[in-house]
Structure 1
Amino acid sequence: MTKLEDVIKELETAYPPERAESWDAVGLVSGDPAQPVRKVLFAVDPVPAVAGEAIAWDADLIVTHHPLWLRGTTSVATTGYKGRLIHDLIKHDIALYTAHTNADVANPGVSDALARAVGLVGDLVPLQPFPDDPWRGLGRIGDLPTTVTLESFARAVLLGLPETNGGIKVAGDPQRRVRRIAVSGGAGDSLLGAARKAGVDVFLTADLRHHPASEFAETGGPALIDAAHWATEWPWLGSAASILAASGVNVETRVSATVTDAWTRGY
């Protein structure tokens, strides 16, 4: 019988919690380490729709990328959706575990999965590596199989990522020839300088703000592609599920198909 502690051991081998940012909240949120685990659902966000999916599938554990409480809480009362979610999970014996910034910097991690989803091949290297480990760090740099136009690559991004109402935004000449690509799952404002320094043709990320993106584009930086935050992190779910399956623990895994992007309509 596989126990929750067995699953946690494998997850923390792949995504060491000590690699998480100091402000982050990773690890076991709720659940008994000794409880049996047969089914594990992977999702980006710990929201009621995902909890409902887990309950309907009779899951024993949800592994999410985003924390439920990033800054702590003083109450799990059902007067708020997070309290209700925890109560629902406990009632159905479903544990909740988070791998966040420790999964972002892992090898392979969130950005590796994003890179492969949009067609990068060969070896990938961190955009911002750790000083003590050049194979771990934020973002990834890699190459397309051939040189293509920015417009063509943007279409490949649309095909490679799950559909969202916001789609993608592109900054740069559509006919620009591109091959060397940097990617970073989730918000990537902080890596604009690293992308410029790396000399890549395109930087693909999410949540780019107007002023940093405008200044970056006007000063001759790489082209930019801004995708939905949720969509850039979703490919990691399959990677994490595969790592757990390959570890030898006897569990069934599923990647959530529930779209939890915050933007529900585009015009």
Structure 2
Amino acid sequence: MTTVADAVAALEAAYPPALAESWDAVGLVCGDPAETIERALVCVDPVESTVDEAIETGAGLLVAHHPLLLRGVHGVGADTTKGRLVHRLIRAGIALYCAHTNADSADPGVSDALAAAIGLRVTGPLNPNPDGRTGIGRVGVLPEPEPFAVFVERVARALPATEGGVRAAGDPNREIRTVAVSGGAGDSYLSVVTAAGVDAYVTADLRHHPAGEHLADPSAPALVDVSHWASEWPWCGQAAEILRSALGGTVTVDVSSRRTDPWTAQAPGAPTRTGRFTG
């Protein structure tokens, strides 16, 4: 029988905890390592809807990218949002495992999954660790150059739809061949992508002032800003395949179908959910 510990070992072989940032909280949040499991669910966010899904599908393990308890807590009372989730998971016999910045830096990791979804051939990490192989973000190459307007539509088609859609900043006719990607919030790497000399940068949560200052540099790459959740959702399939392979098919592994992007509506006349290039 396959146990929670077996699944954790497979995940930590792929996403070594040593790769996690010092401030991060990764690993087994709740659950008995000795408990047997027959089904697992992989998601981006451990929230009410994905816990509902884990219970509905009969999962014994929920694997999430984002930590549930990132900051220190003194209790997990069921009268708090996160405490309530912990209680629900324990009562349902579901273990929770989180792989966050260790999955971001791993090879392959979160940004490899994003690059693959877009259709890039990865050439290396954007911000490499000393080993030169792991690190945050990836740099890749398109099969053929294409105008920025076409590339933005490529990104919008590749990722799950969200109410915020896809935003872009740059010359619509600019030729795009080399691309940097970073799943999740990536504006701290704007200077890195400029130094890398890529044509475009795809990430999430770009802020007004950093983006504006970046674009003031004529040598800076064009920007594509997507939903944080959408940028990391391709990783779910990667992690699911790692579990299926490592556990020899003894555990059914599902990818969450719940959209946990927090934005749920647009004002009338706003861009479409899949994005609109506006130049």
The TM tier, using the shorter chain, reads over 0.9
Q: How does 1:15-54 map to 2 (within 5 A)?
A: 15-54=15-54
Find runs of 4+ consecutive structure 1 residues off by over 2 angstroms.
Answer: none
Gaps of 5+ in 2: 268-279
Count of matched residue positions in the alignment of Structure 1 and Structure 2: 265
Match of 1:127 in 2: 126
Work out whether 1:59 is the aligned partner of 2:67: no
Name the CA distance, whole Å, in 1 between partners of 2:241 and 2:79: 37
**Equivalent residue number for residue 204 of structure 2:** 206
Indicate which of 188, 191, 197 corresponds to 2:189.
191
* Distance in 2 between residues matched to 1:81 and 1:70, nearest whole Å: 14
Which residue of 1 is the match for residue 272 of structure 2?
A: none
Q: Gaps spanning 5+ residues in structure 1: where?
A: none
1:78 alignment counterpart: 78
Offset of residue 248 of structure 1: 3.3
User: Matched residues in 2 for 1:228 and 1:248: separation?
Assistant: 32
- Counterpart of 2:202 in structure 1: which amino acid? L
Q: Is the 8 A contact 1:205 1:225 kept in 2?
A: yes
CA distance in 2, matches of 1:37, 1:11: 15
Work out whether residues 10 and 247 of structure 2, in 8 Å CA contact, stay in contact via their aligned partners in 1: no
Measured after TM superposition, the shift of residue 247 of structure 1 is 1.3
Who is 2:165 aligned against? 167
Contact in 2 for aligned 1:165/1:264 (Cα 8 Å):
yes
Q: Greater CA deviation, 228-237 or 69-78?
A: 69-78
Kept after mapping to 1: 8 A contact 2:6/2:247: no
How far apart, in 2, do the equivalents of 1:186 and 1:9 lie? 25
2:241 aligns with 242
Residue type of the alignment partner of 1:26: V
Measured in 1, the distance between the counterparts of 2:266 and 2:111 equals: 26
Aligned-partner Cα distance in 2 for 1:245–1:217: 43
Percent of paired sites with the same residue: 54
Does the CA-based 8 Å contact 1:112-1:124 persist in structure 2?
A: no
State the Cα distance separating 1:31 from its structure 2 match: 0.3
Structure 1 position 210, deviation (Å): 0.6
- Distance apart, 1:141 and its partner CA: 0.4
- Per the alignment, residue 146 of structure 2 pairs with 148
2:62 aligned counterpart, secondary structure? strand
Q: Which residue of 1 aligns with 2:117?
A: 117
